[in-house]
Each structure stands twice: as structure tokens, then as C-alpha cells.
Structure 1
């Protein structure tokens, strides 16, 4: 099942894809359950349940987790996951706008498979790791190369800016991915900029796959339901000026559209 989170008619709703009407969503809000609304009338939000007030969402992101991308940047492939933490304020939804700071010379997309943790995970083995996944979505983790000091540990201005991480449009149930798509280990990724294909790859090329990452992180920290793991991007990143339409797609997961704007816009 593909789930979405939207704003419509002055309220936030959970919704699902409508198989026989691809331009509509079906609301899950109890009082409006079954109501169909046109996609063109909604504001798409990150397809994630809100966290309890006492706990922020943990967003873990991977650097250089595809060998071809590491080679593209003239780095050796890492022998241990290169992880950094992102703030939840960076997340925005499908068809939202990302601000490119004035004067920046290189700001590029990063099409990534995002893993949503489904239940509390602590010291999980690789063999059991997928049992702790709640679902998957598409993330576009923009990087601003001008601010980069160290590829191994990107500083905050590179990866933690407001609006820098579009995510969605769907949260696809883990069971569907595992049973119908053969799991998260061989999904095709593609990025287009203004309709031109600029990046293609497959999650089969991940250096550290999803089970390995869950085992690695849960060995020293507790993963909670709703936490995110952004698994990295393949090679083929290019600079995107203001005015660009960037579409990041993952086979069976979704097609995430984003627009880059200037601060003035």
C-alpha cells in the first residue's frame, strides 16, 4: 500500500493511492474516510507520522555509500558506514520548493532510498533487520558543495538547511517492497532535471545495504519507530540552478518532484 500525508481543506490528513483513479487520493481521516480528493488540490507533506512531543525524529544519512559516487568524487569506497545526523526541519514534501542560497555555485540533488523504521530496534542482527522496517520512501538530499569542508563529515550548512530534503510522495509498506518488489536490494533509481535524465543507478550497488545499516546503527543506538535512514546516492550528480524542476524516482517506491527557487522567489 502507498500512503501519503497531505494538507487539504484546512487540515492534515493521511491518505492512500487510488488504484482506479491515479489523479486522486483517498482520505483515511475517520470522519472523512473514503472521501476522494484530486491530487492537484492538496499540499503534499513528508509521508511520515508525527513524532511524540517529547521525542524528535532521528534522521540518519549516509555519505559515499555507492562505490561509483565515491569514485566520481575521487574518494576510496569506505570500509565503515559514513553517517551523519540531519534535523527534521530539513524535510519537505512532494512538489514543494527548495531554496538555493544566493551566490552558491554548486548545489546538487541526491536521489536516495529512505528507510522508515517500524518498531524499536536495539542490537538487531542483519538476518532480522528487515523485520524492523515499517516502509520505504524517496528522498532527495540536496548538498551545497560550496560549503563542503569534508566529504566524510559534511558540516551543517551542506546538508541541514531548511527545505533541503524533499521526501515522498509515498510511504510504501515494507511488506509490499519485500514481497512484491524482491526487497530493497535491487531497485532502480533515476533523476531528471528539467526532463533530462542526469542520474541512473540501482540499490544493488549500495556498499552497505539496508540490513547492514540497521545492524550497524542499532549496535550502538536505539532506533525508534518513525526514524529515517537515508541510504546514499549513486554517481551522476549535477548542479541545479534556481528554476530547475528535479524529479527523483525509485522503482516501485515513487516519483518525487521538487522545484528549486532563489531566496527572492
Structure 2
């Protein structure tokens, strides 16, 4: 890992000054979201709550070298604050207050935005895919499961991307929803359910062939679906 820059990201349950100081001692870069009720103090000024600093939708600011607790024995940190602007009549309910040792505002915001992608990965490994949280496994067994999931997860993503490149993802899942700006399904989801398609075809092949014989007027549609299946198979 020495060739990579590590930045630790954490939500509000990890927004600890003690953790931040320890990470500084370990020379690890971090961005931790903290609660707006937390008190801060700049040089020569009184303590004030973050919520009183006037952060509004569409605004941002950066505070360098401030105290983030009234307790003694802790050093100073940087605070990056950001509230996404209102877009198409929709606005975030609250902004971000980020405890960090990164050097500037934009770098801190950009780093913390990566956390949304991490959340999607967690969902894929849990309720959205592999149900890891239901295993209740021991530490040793859990480590082995995570390694297997990492391999399976990577394979599903690569297969999903291959299916998308061939333009046949519409056979696996709906592509669009009304008033939805983001894509409906990830490459992981497409790859995972592409595997289910293949397994299902093995079970229902005879039924499909009988249906083709019965409904000859639908033959072009059946042929289109069978071609899509062959392309899906070629992705695995």
C-alpha cells in the first residue's frame, strides 16, 4: 500500500477528536464528518457552535487551525463546511461539517464525496447482494467470506460492464424510471442478475422451446431474447 495515498473517511458516528488526533500522530490523512452541535474556537475568539456559522444551501467555507473541543490536551484541526446547492427544486436537508487534516476546502469535499460510492458497495455486500450481515460468522470465518465476496463482487462488476457494452442490459432490468435522474441499476446488479438469468435458462429451457413452438407468431421476439441470452453467456 506504500504506493497509494490513504485517506480515511468517516461519518458522524466516527467524528471523534480523539480519533482525529491519533490519525494525525500516525500521519494518516482523514476526513471525518462531525455534528453541527460541536463547539469550535479560532485564535483569540470565543467558542461557538458550528451550526451558528451561517452555512446555507449553496455555500461552503474552510477554517484552518481551530480547536474542535473544550477539552484540554488536543491540538487544532481544519474544518471544511459544505452544503450542496438547491437543484431542480430539491435541496439537501443539512450540510457537511468535516473534520480534516487535508490542506484545502475542495480536496476535503472531493474526498468525502467518495463515501457515497463506498455506501453503495456496502449495500451490495449486504442487503443488496450477498447478505453478509446475516452470516453472524466468527472473525476468522468472516475474513475468509470477505475475501470470497471481494472476488465474486469484482467478477459481477466486470460481467455487468461487459453486458452493458453489448447493449443488452434491458433484458435483465428496467433502465429508466419516471423522474429518476440516476441510472437504476449498477454494473454489479446487472452482472449479478445476469448470472441468475443463466441459471434460470438452464431450468426453463424445455418450457421456452415448447412456448416457441406454440406461439410461432412471436418467433422474432423469441429469437431476439435467445440472442440476448447467448450474448449474456459470452460475458461469463
Q: TM-score, normalised by structure 1?
A: 0.21
Structure with more relative contact order (C-alpha pairs < 8 Å, separation 6 or more): 1
More strand by share: 1
More helix by share: 2
